[in-house]
Structure 1
Amino acid sequence: MDIQDERRPLLEAESGHPSPTGLIAEQDAYLSKVKNGKLYLATFAAVLGPLSFGFVLGYSSPAIPELMNDANARLRLNEDQASWFGSIVTVGAAVGGLLGGWMVEKIGRKLSLMLCALPFVFGFTIIIAAQNVFMLYVGRVLTGLASGVTSLVVPLYISETAHERVRGLLGSCVQLMVVLGIMGVYLAGMFMDWRWLAICCSVPPTLLMVSMYFMPETPRYLLFHGKRQEAEDALRYLRGPDAPVEWECARIEDACGEQGSSFRLSDLKDPGIYKPLMVGVMLMAFQQMTGINAIMFYAQNIFEQAHFQVPRALASSSHRPSVPLAS
C-alpha cells in the first residue's frame, strides 16, 4: 500500500455519487431557503385526526354514567352494555387499521384523511340521534373505524411532508393531540351531557375534512406514481417559493427507487427484520397489558367506585344542558 492509498478516505463516495459531507452541505443550503409556515398549516390540519381520535377514546368515560341513569329505558345501559359501549370502539379501530393500510396506497394519504373524517362525523351523529342501545354501538364502531385509519395515515402524512429538521418535532404532535383530545373530552364532560358532548366531538373531524381539501398530497406518494410536476407543486407549497424543490424531488425519487421488492414471508427469517419486529410487537403488547385503555374508557366509573370526592364546584356542574330529541 503506497502513501496515496493511506490518505484515501475510508468512506470515499462511489463514482457518480456525492460524498456524505457534500450531501449535508447541499441539504443545509436547501433548508436555508425553506419556509415552514405552510408545512405547519398542513400538519395542523392533519393532527385534527388524532385530536378526534382522543375524543373517541375519552368519550365513553363521562358518557357511560349518564347513560346508565338515562330516563329513556331504551337508552339506559346496564353494566354489560356499558362495558360494550366503552370497548366496542376497539373492534372498529382494528378494522380501520387494516383498511387504512389499503387506502393510503390506493387513493393516497390526503384523500384517506378526508374520507376517514366521514365515519367520525357519521358515528357521532348516530350517537347524537340514538334512540336505542344498538345505535350507540353503531356510532362507537364507526368512530373506532375512523380512529384506526387516522392512527395509521396521519403519522405517514406528516413524515412524508416534513423535512429533516422538523420531522421529529411534528411527528410528536400526533400523540400530543391524542392526549389533548382525551383531556379535552374529560373536561367538557363536566359541563355537558352526553349528546352535547357528542356534538362537540364531531367538530374536529368536520374541520379535518374541510381543511385537508386545501392541503397537498405528499410528494413521495406523487413521485412514486410518476406525477413529478404535481410533486414539485406540492413541495413548493410546503417549502415556500424560494426553495429549489427539484433537488428534494430527486432525493425522494432515489429513495423510492431503493425501496426494493415487496415484502415476503421469507423475509422474516432475516434477523434484521424479525428482531426489531418482535421488539416493537412486544412493546405494544406490554403497553396494552397495563390496562391503560380500560382506564381511559371507564375513568369516571373507576373514580366513582373508588369513592373519589368531587369538589362542590364541579358537582354543581352536573345540571347540564341536554339536547331535546323526539322519542
Structure 2
Amino acid sequence: MDPDDLENLLAFPREPENENALNRYLNNVRNRNLYLATFAAVLGPLSFGFVLGYSSPAISDLKDVEDPRLVLDKNAASWFGHWKLSLMLCSLPFVLGFVLIISAQNVWMLLVGRLLTGLASGVTSLVVPVYISETSHPRVRGSLGSCVQLMVVTGIVSSYIAGMLMDWRWLAVFCCIPPVLMLIFMFFMPETPRYLINREKTVEAMSALRFLRGPYADHEWEYRQIESSGDDQETSLAFAELRNPAIYKPFLIGILMMVFQQFTGINAIMFYADTIFEEANFKNSRLASVIVGLVQVVFTAIAAMIIDKTGRKVLLLISGVIMAISAAAFAVYFSLTTPVINNKPAFLDSPPTMAPVGPVDHLAWLALASTGLFIAGFSIGWGPIPWLVMSEIFPLRTRGVASGICVVTNWGCAFLVTKEFHDLMLFLTPYGTYGLFAGFCALNVLFTIFWVPETKGKTLEQIEAHFRGSHNAQRFGIQ
C-alpha cells in the first residue's frame, strides 16, 4: 500500500468548512511571540539535559579531587549519576541544586544538589510539553513540540563539551545559566489560553491569545473554538469515567508509547556506546560521548524541521524500522564475536558484561555502524514524538494526571530496562538480548500503524473530538 494511501486511511476525516476557517485564521497569525514563549519554556528541557550530562564529566573529576571530603568512591558515584527515579517526587529549582554543587564541601552536598536538580527535571519533563502544545497552533505544534527532546540532547552534549574544558565546579556554574534565564523569561510569558478559558478568565485568555497570535488574527474565533470544546468539561475526573473511550483510549496510547520507547533498548545501546567506540580505536571516552550526543542533536533537529510536513506516523514508522534493523545487526555482531567454550557462550563462565569476549577488532565497524544507525533512528522518531503525542491527545481535564502517569511510566520502564539489562545478557545471551530489542522495535511499527493517530495539522479540539467518536476510532483500528 502506498504511504499516502495509508496516511489517508488512518487520518482524521476532513471537515472542509472547519478546515477553511482554520486556514483563514492561521494565515493571519504571527508567530514571533509564540517562538519566544517556546524558547522560554524549552530552557527547562535544556536544563534537564545539563542535569543528565553533568554527571559524566563531573564524576571523572571528583574521583581525583584533592579534598578527600569530596572524593566520590564507586558507590557514591553511582548515586550521583542515577537519580532518575527522584525526578517524579516534586519540583525544586534547578539553580538551588547547582548552587549546592558549586559550594559543596562534602559528598552529601553534592548528592543533595543532584537530587534537587533531578526533582526539578521531573516536573520540567511533565509541564513543558503540555505548555508548548497548549500555546501552539497546528501548523507549528509538531516542530515546537519536538524542540523539547532537541533541547534535552543539546543540553547533554553541551555538558560533555563543556566538561572537556572546565572542572566540575565551573561546569556547575555553566549549568546554572539556562534555569536562570528560564526563570527570567517565563516571568513575562502568559499562561496557556486553554487553561485560562477552562477557569473562565476571559480577559486573561484574550490577552494571552493576542500575545501568542499577534495583532492581526481573529482572537475571538479561536477563543470560541476552545470554549465550545470545553463547555461540558469539569475540572475533576471521576474514576468511573475511565470507561469512557474519549478518556481511556488516548490514555492507553500515551502509556504504551512510553513503554515501547524504553523497551527499544535505547539505554542499553547508549551504555554500550563507549565500549563500541573504544573497540573502534576511539580511546577518548569523552570524545565518544560528544560524538554520540551530536548524532542525537542532528537527527532530532531534522525531525523537528520536517515533522509538520511528514506527520508523526511516518517518522515513527521510519524510526521503528531503522531501530529494528540496527538492533538485529547488534545481535548478529554478538553472535559472531562471543566465543563458545564447551558448547556455551564464554561469558557465562564469568560475570556478564556488555562487551563481547575475545578479539573483535575486525568487526568493530559493524557495532559502530549499528550504534550510529540506532541512535539516529531513535532520534528522528521514537525519541521526540512520544512526548509530543502525549501533549496532544489527552483531553484538557485529564491532561495533567495522564501526562504525569506517562512520565512516571517512561522513567519506570527506563529504570527497569537498565536494572535488568545485565540479567537479560546472562539469561538470553547478548545476541538474544539485542534480538529481543529488535523484536520490540518491530512491535513499535505495528503499534504505530494500528493505534497511533496522525495528529498533523489538527487542533487539540479536533483531536479530542476524534476520540469521542466511535466511528472515527474504528478507522484508526482502535477498538
TM-score, normalized by length of structure 1? Answer: 0.75
Who is 2:258 aligned against?
284
Conservation of the 8 A alpha-carbon contact between 1:57 and 1:297: no
In 2, the alpha carbon distance for the partners of 1:136 and 1:180 equals 24
Who is 1:199 aligned against?
173
Matches within 5 A, 1:56-205: 56-88=51-83, 90-96=84-90, 119-205=93-179
Who is 2:199 aligned against?
225
2:49 maps to 1:54: yes
Moved more, 66-75 or 250-259: 250-259
Conservation of the 8 A alpha-carbon contact between 1:58 and 1:297: no
Moved more, 274-283 or 156-165: 274-283
Who is 2:188 aligned against?
214
Who is 1:40 aligned against?
35
Structure 2, gaps ≥5 residues long: 1-13, 289-479
Q: How many residues align?
A: 275
Q: Deviations over 1:190-236 (max 9, x none)?
A: 11111111000000000000011111111111111111111111111
Who is 1:242 aligned against?
216
Instruction: Give the letter for the 2:116 counterpart.
Output: L
* C-alpha displacement of 1:62: 0.6
TM-score, normalized by length of structure 2? Answer: 0.52
In 2, the alpha carbon distance for the partners of 1:206 and 1:242 equals 33
Alignment RMSD (CA, Å): 3.1
Query: Which structure has the higher relative contact order (CA within 8 Å, separation 6+)?
Result: 1
* C-alpha displacement of 1:32: 1.2
C-alpha change, 1:276 and 1:241, in structure 2 (3 Å) is closer
In 2, the alpha carbon distance for the partners of 1:69 and 1:292 equals 30
Instruction: Give the letter for the 1:39 counterpart.
Output: L
In 2, the alpha carbon distance for the partners of 1:158 and 1:76 equals 41
Q: Deviations over 1:24-44 (max 9, x none)?
A: 221111111111111111111
Please state whether the residue corresponding to 2:71 is helix, strand or coil.
coil
Who is 1:257 aligned against?
231
In 2, the alpha carbon distance for the partners of 1:160 and 1:230 equals 15
Q: Deviations over 1:82-127 (max 9, x none)?
A: 0011112x2330213xxxxxxxxxxxxxxxxxxx6x6200000000
Structure 1, gaps ≥5 residues long: 1-18, 97-115, 315-327
Conservation of the 8 A alpha-carbon contact between 2:46 and 2:155: yes
In 2, the alpha carbon distance for the partners of 1:263 and 1:221 equals 16
Conservation of the 8 A alpha-carbon contact between 1:222 and 1:230: yes
In 2, the alpha carbon distance for the partners of 1:60 and 1:186 equals 9
C-alpha change, 1:304 and 1:61, in structure 2 (3 Å) is farther
Conservation of the 8 A alpha-carbon contact between 1:47 and 1:174: yes
In 2, the alpha carbon distance for the partners of 1:291 and 1:119 equals 31
C-alpha change, 1:263 and 1:150, in structure 2 (3 Å) is same
Conservation of the 8 A alpha-carbon contact between 2:97 and 2:117: yes
C-alpha change, 1:299 and 1:121, in structure 2 (3 Å) is farther
